[in-house]
């Protein structure tokens, strides 16, 4: 059997930047074991599998190399970019994705960016900082958790950029991953972040859309604004525009197609 797979770099307009995702269009979902094996073979943060349900209406599932996940921003952005580019949806249509996190919608914004409509994932409670500070090797200003991730704010963008966390300690946390953030010093940005998920075989994710569903409401409250520009300062890096709107987070970004391949199995 064979499977056509595309690779798209999301939250960037340059190849080899942003966060790469593999995209597979299917007539029907195969067994979960097959999709997991494909994701493991691709060895990217996420591989997206899509099945068409109707006009601009698709079922979407995401797999890391080790497990299926409930929410993924960059692979959703990558999927939408490719669908518009390949003509799989009508131009200027709203794409509806049916996912484990409910219906997610993507449109082409007026400024040329793709705009994703995602649920807020706010911090549910503050937690003691000792374990998280030991894991990242830095003092915290705030530590908390939402339903998926642990969350740490530290004192500066400079410290965030040079952070060298203990991946073994992070992997032992009972969460999907760890968001570390700081107020931005770079002109034109409001906040910066990094995301670590060795639990999912992703030591550092290049750009994490779902993490911004937590970052956006946190920084909106701190900065007193609902529309912000963020950057995930991983080695590959990528920009994310965020806007809070009626309990949802609008995530805006770009993407670029990198390659098309045929997987034989």
CA-closest candidate to residue 33, choices 2, 63, 1, 72: 63
- C-alpha angle with apex 200: 196 to 203, nearest 5 degrees? 35
Q: Which two tokens stand for residue 164?
A: 């060298």
Backbone angles phi, psi at 257, to 5 degrees: -80, 135
Number of neighbouring beta carbons within 10 Å of residue 240:
28
- Alpha helix locations (H) across the chain? 32-42, 74-86, 130-136, 157-161, 167-171, 212-223
Cβ 46 vs Cβ 39: under 8 Å: yes
Neighbour tally for 198: CB within 10 Å: 19
The span from the CA of 68 to the CA of 43, in Å, is 13
The verdict on whether 41 is a catalytic residue reads no
Report d(CA 195, CA 199) in Å as an integer: 12
How many alpha carbons fall within 13 Å on the CB side of residue 126? 7
Catalytic residue among 46, 121, 153, 254: 46
Query: Which residues touch 193 (CB under 8 Å, ≥6 apart)?
Result: 160, 179, 180, 181, 182, 208, 211, 212, 215, 230, 231, 232, 233
Query: Which residues are known to be catalytic?
Result: 46
């Amino acid at each position: 059997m064979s499977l056509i797979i595309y690779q798209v770099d999301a939250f960037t307009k340059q190849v080899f930047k942003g966060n790469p995702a593999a995209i597979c269009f299917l007539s029907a979902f195969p067994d979960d074991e097959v999709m997991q094996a494909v994701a493991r073979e691709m060895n990217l943060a996420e591989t997206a599998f899509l099945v068409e349900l109707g006009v601009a209406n698709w079922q979407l599932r995401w797999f890391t190399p080790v497990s299926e996940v409930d929410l993924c921003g960059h692979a959703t952005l990558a999927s939408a970019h490719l669908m518009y580019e390949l003509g799989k949806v009508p131009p200027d249509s709203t794409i509806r994705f049916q996912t484990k996190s409910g219906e997610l919608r993507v449109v082409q914004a007026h400024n040329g960016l793709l705009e994703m409509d995602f649920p807020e994932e706010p911090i549910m409670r503050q937690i003691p900082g000792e374990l998280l500070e030991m894991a990242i090797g830095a003092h915290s200003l705030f530590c908390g958790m939402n339903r998926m991730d642990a969350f740490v704010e530290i004192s500066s963008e400079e410290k965030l950029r040079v952070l060298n966390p203990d991946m073994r300690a992070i992997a032992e946390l009972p969460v999907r991953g760890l968001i570390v953030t700081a107020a931005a010093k770079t002109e034109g940005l409001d906040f910066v972040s990094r995301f670590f998920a060795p639990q999912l075989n992703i030591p550092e994710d290049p750009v994490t859309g779902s993490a911004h569903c937590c970052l956006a409401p946190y920084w909106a409250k701190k900065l007193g604004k609902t529309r912000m520009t963020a950057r995930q300062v991983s080695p590959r890096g990528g920009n994310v525009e965020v806007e809070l709107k009626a309990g949802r987070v609008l995530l805006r970004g770009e993407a670029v197609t990198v390659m098309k391949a045929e997987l034989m199995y």
